[in-house]
Amino acid sequence: MHRRRDAGFDFPGDDRQRFRERPSSGGDIIMGTVALATNKYAFVVSEESENDIRVFTDRLKFAMNGDTVRVRLRGERDGRPVGDVLEVVKREREEIVGQLTVQNAGFGFVSPDHRKLYFDVFVPNEGLKEARSGEKVLVRITEWPEDPGRQPVGEIVRSFGQAGENEAEINAIMAEFGLPFEFPQDVEEESEEISDRIQEDEIARRRDFRDITTFTIDPADAKDFDDALSIQKLENGNWEIGVHIADVTHYVRPESMLEREARHRATSVYLVDRVIPMLPERLSNGLCSLRPNEDKLTFSAVFELDDNGKLYDSWFGKTIIHSDRRFAYGEAQERIETGEGDFVEEVNTLNNIAKKLQAQRFKKGAIGFETQEVKFQLDENGKPVGVYVKERQDAHKLIEEFMLLANRKVADFVFQKKKTKPRFTMVYRTHDAPDADRLQNFALFAKKFGHDLNLENPKKLSNELNSLSENVVGKPEQNVIQTLAIRTMAKAKYTTEPLGHFGLAFDHYSHFTSPIRRYPDMMAHRLLEHYLQGAKTWKPSPWKKSASTPPSARS
């Protein structure tokens, strides 16, 4: 028999002796979802109970985070209901990441990396495969015991290598969070079947920007370029500035395997030493990437602006471009700081207009808090060897302003297409005003550092927060104040409701500019194309479901 090794359980133990059970009304049975609190107890959250139910781990039946369970209430402690899991109705996952320890007798135990997991997994000899002691592994549980004194039984699915090695640890993190290691073969095959030739009849359907100065500005190590800027001076002295976005939905057709995989992944995921892309490399780094000196299909937002950033006209539609230059942020910054180099006039014109656009945003109430972004220095094997704070320079802000302009005007365009309800369906990125209580707590915290925050006039809240942000610059408390200010804000979310964006001070806002790495942007592209063709609105229900799936993204 395999018994549970001592996992350091000092609870319920003596606490159970002090626990005075007060019977609940008839031992009610409810359905709920498990949320592990520690390795000693969990809470079961249920719509059938006003309060969360505490369940000690030896009464959980090995349920884990997110599992659906049936719980029998058996009493209260400190006013909180306590219960026992009767049945695990649905398990969210049956695989665990951890470190393998092999015993001399030829069997092993996997100790989970997740600090809240309260049990080890027993692995018999035949389940070890070729995994060795000390390796990080992914174990699939094949037997869930009824007896809480026994352990789940499992088999090794994948070994990542010796614990502590960079590759092993990164792969273990990917497995723990359910991040995919590769694309399914049929998805890769579908991407390889897409032709890289642009047909003449496709070009004829598009507005041609190939003769207009166009370039990309991205991080030095970027491989997928999903946005480019074009600029030309008009006869009236204004500037025509195009924000050109990779036309991903031209290649990723509705209900194709590529589409389903992108919807499942929702976004690309950026780790310290790698990217887990939403789309296969043939698309993300090839067909859709706006690489220099190649004709590329794009979906564009084109604006007529003057030197002061005043907007005169907007145009949206399918285009074809030919990027003249691939700038790294540092190279673009050199043009701004030195006034020398190729395309220096274009870069500086865009930068000057971007500064005017930013000033307009702040004047209308945009919040200017920023946190320090930490980057890692990696050796040739991808192992972190140092850290540094990434500096946000004018080149970064230049790109940000034009992406914000495109996202805002696309959302405005769809919103204005039909001024009566029901309005045209769109995937909006919204941001609520902060909670009053959280703001008050933040104001009290800031006051301890000598900073007063006047919350009496909600209409001037953004001005107060921006003043605070400016006042803390260069002071020891800058990072903690700005970080807490951002955490005080509500979280941005995707929705089909045409609500505003508090942090950006926009009436309407969408995500249009990153379809290579965000599925919501692909949704926005499909909807915008649909309306540009004169079609009527789509029912919002399927878009609501998909829009609620992706994780939070910046802005």
The total of other beta-carbon atoms located within 10 Å of residue 418's CB is 13
What is the C-alpha to C-alpha distance for residues 148 and 143, in angstroms, rounded to an integer?
A: 13
CA distances from 130 to 122, 126, 133, 510 (A): 16, 10, 10, 49
Classify 519 as helix, strand or coil.
helix
CA 474 to chain centre: 30
What is the C-alpha to C-alpha distance for residues 330 and 69, in angstroms, rounded to an integer?
A: 54
What is the C-alpha to C-alpha distance for residues 367 and 439, in angstroms, rounded to an integer?
A: 14
Q: Give, for all 555 residues of the chain, the pLDDT tens digit.
A: 343 333 332 333 334 333 444 444 446 899 999 999 999 999 999 999 889 999 999 999 999 999 999 999 988 887 789 999 999 999 999 999 999 999 988 899 999 999 999 999 999 999 999 999 999 999 999 999 988 889 999 999 999 999 988 889 999 999 988 899 999 999 999 999 999 999 999 999 999 999 999 999 999 988 899 999 999 999 999 999 999 999 999 999 999 999 999 999 999 999 888 899 999 999 999 999 999 999 999 999 999 999 999 999 999 999 999 999 999 999 999 999 999 999 999 999 999 999 999 999 999 999 987 767 778 888 887 778 888 888 889 999 999 999 999 999 999 999 998 877 888 999 999 999 999 999 999 999 999 999 999 988 888 899 889 999 888 888 898 889 988 988 899 999 999 999 999 999 999 999 999 999 999 999 999 999 999 998 888 777 776 766 655 444 434
What is the C-alpha to C-alpha distance for residues 508 and 413, in angstroms, rounded to an integer?
A: 9
Predicted pLDDT of residue 27: 61
What value, to the nearest 5°, has the Cα angle with vertex 85 and ends 79 and 87? 150
What is the C-alpha to C-alpha distance for residues 524 and 530, in angstroms, rounded to an integer?
A: 10
Predicted pLDDT of residue 390: 81
If we measure between CA atoms, which residue out of 296, 267, 550, 312 comes closest to residue 409?
312
At which residue do the structure tokens 């029901």 appear? 422
Cα Rg of the chain, angstroms: 28
What is the C-alpha to C-alpha distance for residues 481 and 547, in angstroms, rounded to an integer?
A: 32
102: Cβ contacts below 8 Å, ≥ 6 apart? 108, 128, 131, 132, 133
For 521, the token pair is 């942007």
Q: Is 101 exposed, middle or buried (0-12, 13-18, 19+ CB in 10 A)?
A: middle
Predicted pLDDT of residue 8: 32
Quick check: 373 and 477 in contact, CB under 8 A?
A: no
Domains for the chain: give ranges and CATH numbers.
Answer: 19-90 (2.40.50.140), 97-176 (2.40.50.700), 187-394 (no CATH), 410-547 (no CATH)
CA dihedral for 120, 121, 126, 127, sign (positive or negative): negative
